Amino acid sequence: MQEIKLKVMNSEGRTLITCPEASEVSLVHAAEYQPGDRIILECREPGCFCVIQLEDSLAPSLVYVTQREVVYNIPFGEQRVVFSPKAFTGNCHLIRARLARPEEVAARRNLAVNPYDQHGMAGMFPHSSANVETRGEAVFASYNAIDGIYENASHGVWPYASWGINRDPNAAWTLDFGRSVKIDELRVTLRADFPHDSWWTQGEVAFSDGSAEVLHFEKTGKPQVFAIEPRVVTSLTFRSLIKADDPSPFPALTQFEAWGTEA
| The residue type at 189 | T
CA distance linking residue 148 with residue 137, whole number of Å: 19
- Beta-bridge mates of residue 43: 4
Query: CB count, 10 Å around CB of 161?
Result: 27
CA distance linking residue 143 with residue 161, whole number of Å: 9
Residues making up the chain, counted from first to last: 263
CA angle 30, 34, 40 (to 5 degrees): 75
CB 174 within 8 Å of CB 128: yes
> What does the pLDDT read at residue 238?
98
CA distance linking residue 121 with residue 116, whole number of Å: 9
For 137, residues 6+ apart whose C-beta sits below 8 A from its C-beta are 78, 164
> What does the pLDDT read at residue 134?
96
CA distance linking residue 2 with residue 46, whole number of Å: 9
CA distance linking residue 137 with residue 149, whole number of Å: 18
pLDDT digits (tens, 9 = 90+) for 14-66: 999 999 999 999 999 999 999 999 999 999 999 999 999 999 999 999 999 99
User: Hey, where are the domains in the chain?
Assistant: 4-107, 124-262
> What does the pLDDT read at residue 1?
86
> What does the pLDDT read at residue 251?
98
- Beta-bridge mates of residue 5: 42
Q: Domain spanning 124-262 has what CATH number?
A: 2.60.120.260
List of the chain residues with pLDDT < 70? none
